[in-house]
Homo-oligomer: A and B are copies of this chain.
Amino acid sequence: VVVDVGDDAAAVQMAGSDKLLLFTCDMLVEGTHFRRGWSGFSGEKLGWKALAVNVSDIAAMGGRPTYALISLALPGGIEMEFVDEVYSGLLRCAGEYGVIIAGGDSVGSPQGVVIDVSLLGEVEKGRLVQRKGARAGDLIAVTGSLGAAGAGLHILESQIPLIAGGEDLIAALLEPRPRLAEGRALAESGLVSAMMDLSDGLADDLPRLCQESEVGARIFAKKIPVHPACRELFDGGLEHALCGGEDYELLFTFVPESLPKIASALKKAGAQPPIVIGEILPPDGGLQILLPDGSKSPLPEGFKHFSS
């Protein structure tokens, strides 16, 4: 094993191959990660998301997803239509990201729905990007706006009346779009020193990248690309952008001189330019955020999934 527990996916050396095999799995549990009663929720979206979050793990390593297996636990009495919807969402996501669903199994569940997707992928040996590798002086960037999914979750869970713009936030939560083209372009550029996907929120995930890289970091609140609807509806939206999670944008680092080449690599891939949000500090620099009022603060703890 090249990369073990603690990165987005495991990477395994295959005898006789110039590629590494990537291997990841993520489980979505009803009542922890979703509720069937949510406004806008469907089996189709659950299927999409269950595969999409795994594709994001592969993208975060610079890889390309290949084959998936599905484990589904279903309460007795669930409509077959729901199961068909789940598979239709899985297949739509598989089609979009070039994944082959190689098998699946369903078992009974005494309570809610559980879906676990295992996904294989591959990456050229020299192109693997890990959480470790960031160095003091590197810039920290993300691939897109943050906070939408967390704001969408807040709307669904607090059952506040649906406000204009709220639908986009809920859609971001229910149907995340993993940054596969971006991850590939960044890996192929050879210029990225560390990368991961933002599944738990910047405030939780950046410390993980820093821990694996053995560095500190400083981010600038003003530079964080808060999703417009999140900003408008939630008083600037910084809390959701930092702590909300499930945005599935990529977080990555590189030396400042590489910025133009990285921008050009992303452009070629049809993606947004990198959004620089901060810089990597030496190990003793700690983890800090510069707030809009100019004050410094340690990075807040990300909130956990609502059930915990």
Interface residues of A (CB under 8 A from B): 1, 4-7, 9-10, 12, 14-19, 21, 23-27, 29-33, 66-67, 69, 71, 73, 76, 100, 102-105, 107-112, 114, 116, 118, 120, 304-305, 307-308
- What is the bound-complex CA distance between A66 and B14, given in angstroms? 11
Q: Pick the contact of A17: B15, B26, B107, B307 (CB < 8 A).
A: B15
Which chain B residue has the least Cβ–Cβ distance from A17?
B16
Residues of B within 8 A of A110 (CB): 29-32, 111-112, 307
B27 touches A116 (CB 8 A): yes
Chain A interface helix/strand/loop/mixed: strand
- What is the bound-complex CA distance between A4 and B114, given in angstroms? 22
Q: Pick the contact of A25: B26, B66, B100, B118 (CB < 8 A).
A: B118
Give the copy number: 2
A28 CB to nearest B CB, Å: 8
B1 touches A67 (CB 8 A): yes
A5 touches B111 (CB 8 A): no
A120 touches B23 (CB 8 A): yes
A34 CB to nearest B CB, Å: 11
A10 touches B103 (CB 8 A): yes
A29 touches B73 (CB 8 A): yes
Which chain B residue has the least Cβ–Cβ distance from A12?
B67
A69 touches B24 (CB 8 A): yes
A18 touches B21 (CB 8 A): no
B108 touches A32 (CB 8 A): yes
A114 touches B16 (CB 8 A): no
B111 touches A25 (CB 8 A): no
Known contacts A16-B17, A23-B67, A76-B308, A29 near B107 by CB under 8 Å = yes
A120 touches B12 (CB 8 A): yes
A14 touches B14 (CB 8 A): yes
B69 touches A118 (CB 8 A): yes
Which chain B residue has the least Cβ–Cβ distance from A18?
B16
A70 CB to nearest B CB, Å: 8
B10 touches A67 (CB 8 A): yes
Which chain B residue has the least Cβ–Cβ distance from A111?
B111
Residues of B within 8 A of A107 (CB): 27, 29, 32-33, 305
B305 touches A108 (CB 8 A): yes
